[in-house]
C-alpha cells in the first residue's frame, strides 16, 4: 500500500466499505507487471531466446480474472502462441514449491521442453485499514510483502549455454486432514480476508520429520543426516523457522538463506522460495571461494493452506 494508491482509492481506508473491484483493478495490473520484469531478468540470465520457452507455469494468490495472469504474462513477454500454460491460483505460501513440482513434471515428460515458472504477489488484495479492534493485523502488515520471482526448469541442459543450478530429483505433496481452517482465506466484498491460527507453527513442527523422511530415505539419509543437507525452506515467519531449527537440531547456517529472505522481503507468499534459492546460490559461491565443503543433497520445503506440505529432494550439481 502507498499514499499514491490511497489518494486514488480513498475508500480502501474505510472500514467495511466494499472495495474488491478496486483492489482487483490494482492487483491484476501490478502482478502482471512484476511477473514480466522478474521473468525478463530470469530469461536474460538463462542465456537463451524467449522463443525457446515451451511451457509457462504461473502462480499467484493476488488476482482473479478471466483470462488469467498467465495469458497477460505470455503476451507481455512475447511468448509464442503455442506456449502451453498452467495456472496455480490461491495456493498461498506453498505455491512456489508447488509450481516447481508442476514445472518439474512437465519438463520430465516433454523432452526438450523449457518451462518458465513465474510467481507474483501483492498484499493489497488483503489490506485492511488500521483498527484498534484488530491489533494482530499489524503483525500481518509487518510480516507479508510484495514481489515476483521466476525460474527456468528443463531436462538435458545444453552444456555450452545452460548452467544447471539445482537438480530436482523427487517432489511430493501431503495435506494434513482436518486442518483446513488453520490457514483460512476468503474472497469478500472487502478483498481477501486471511486468518492464520496460532497453532500453525506447532502443527508444522509435529509433522516435519515424518514428511522429510519420505524424501531423505530415497538417498539413504536418516534423521542423523539433517546437517549433511542444504535446506531451502519457505520462511512463513520467524516462529516456523525457529521451531524447524530446534526440532531438526539444525546448525544456524542451514536456515540462513531463509532468514535472509524473510528479513529482506518478508513473507512474499509464493515468491519467497525463489529468493531463498537465490540466496543459497550466493552462499554456494562463497563456500567455493573459501574452500569449504558444500552439501550434495537438500530439501526445498513450503507449507500452505490445507495444511499442505510441499517438498522436493534436490541435488547440488556442482558437488
In terms of Cβ atoms closer than 10 Å to its own Cβ (0-12, 13-18, 19+), residue 105 is middle
Cα dist. 133→15, 51, 128, 138, 141 in Å?
Answer: 11, 52, 12, 11, 15
Residues 64 and 51: their CA atoms lie apart, in Å, by 28
Q: 233 in helix, strand or coil?
A: strand
Helix (H) or strand (E) segment spanning residue 46: helix 20-46
Contacts of 202 (CB under 8 A, 6+ apart): 243
CA atoms within 13 A on the CB side of 82: 7
Cα dist. 196→92, 120, 137 in Å?
Answer: 12, 21, 11
- The beta strands (E) that lie in the chain are given as 55-60, 84-89, 114-121, 147-154, 167-175, 183-188, 191-196, 230-233, 297-304, 308-315
Residues 204 and 291: their CA atoms lie apart, in Å, by 35
Report whether the peptide linkage leading into residue 254 is cis, meaning its omega lies within 30 degrees of zero: no
In terms of Cβ atoms closer than 10 Å to its own Cβ (0-12, 13-18, 19+), residue 205 is middle
Catalytic residues: 93
Closest CA to 166 of 260, 68, 294: 294
Residues 165 and 185: their CA atoms lie apart, in Å, by 34
Amino acid at each position: 500500500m502507498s499514499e499514491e494508491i490511497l489518494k486514488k482509492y480513498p475508500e480502501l481506508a474505510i472500514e467495511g466499505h466494499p472495495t474488491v473491484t478496486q483492489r482487483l483493478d490494482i492487483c491484476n495490473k501490478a502482478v502482471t507487471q512484476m511477473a514480466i520484469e522478474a521473468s525478463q531478468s530470469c530469461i536474460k540470465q538463462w542465456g537463451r531466446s524467449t522463443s525457446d520457452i515451451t511451457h509457462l507455469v504461473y502462480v499467484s494468490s493476488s488476482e482473479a480474472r478471466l483470462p488469467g495472469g498467465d495469458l497477460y504474462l505470455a503476451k507481455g513477454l512475447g511468448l509464442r502462441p503455442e506456449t502451453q500454460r498452467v495456472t496455480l491460483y490461491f495456493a498461498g505460501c506453498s505455491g512456489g514449491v508447488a509450481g516447481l513440482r508442476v514445472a518439474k513434471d512437465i519438463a520430465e515428460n516433454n523432452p526438450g521442453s523449457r518451462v518458465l515458472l513465474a510467481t507474483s504477489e501483492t498484499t493489497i488484495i488483503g489490506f485492511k485499514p488500521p483498527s484498534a479492534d484488530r491489533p494482530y493485523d499489524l503483525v500481518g502488515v509487518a510480516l507479508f510483502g510484495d514481489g515476483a520471482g521466476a525460474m527456468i526448469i528443463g531436462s538435458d541442459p545444453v552444456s555450452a549455454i545452460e548452467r544447471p543450478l539445482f537438480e530436482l530429483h523427487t517432489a511430493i505433496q501431503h495435506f494434513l486432514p482436518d486442518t483446513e481452517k488453520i490457514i483460512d482465506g476468503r474472497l469478500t466484498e472487502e478483498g481477501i480476508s486471511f486468518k492464520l491460527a496460532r497453532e500453525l507453527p506447532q502443527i508444522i513442527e509435529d509433522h516435519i520429520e515424518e514428511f522429510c523422511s519420505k524424501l531423505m530415505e530415497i538417498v539413504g539419509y536418516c534423521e542423523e543426516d539433517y546437517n549433511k543437507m542444504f535446506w531451502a525452506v519457505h520462511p512463513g515467519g520467524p516462529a516456523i523457522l525457529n521451531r524447524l531449527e530446534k526440532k531438526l537440531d539444525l546448525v544456524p547456517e542451514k536456515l540462513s538463506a531463509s532468514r535472509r529472505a524473510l528479513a529482506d522481503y518478508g513473507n512474499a507468499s509464493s515468491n519467497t522460495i525463489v529468493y531463498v534459492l537465490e540466496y543459497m546460490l550466493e552462499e554456494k559461491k562463497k563456500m567455493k571461494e573459501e574452500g569449504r565443503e558444500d552439501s550434495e543433497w537438500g530439501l526445498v520445503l513450503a507449507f500452505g493452506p490445507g495444511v499442505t506440505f510441499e517438498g522436493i529432494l534436490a541435488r547440488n550439481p556442482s558437488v
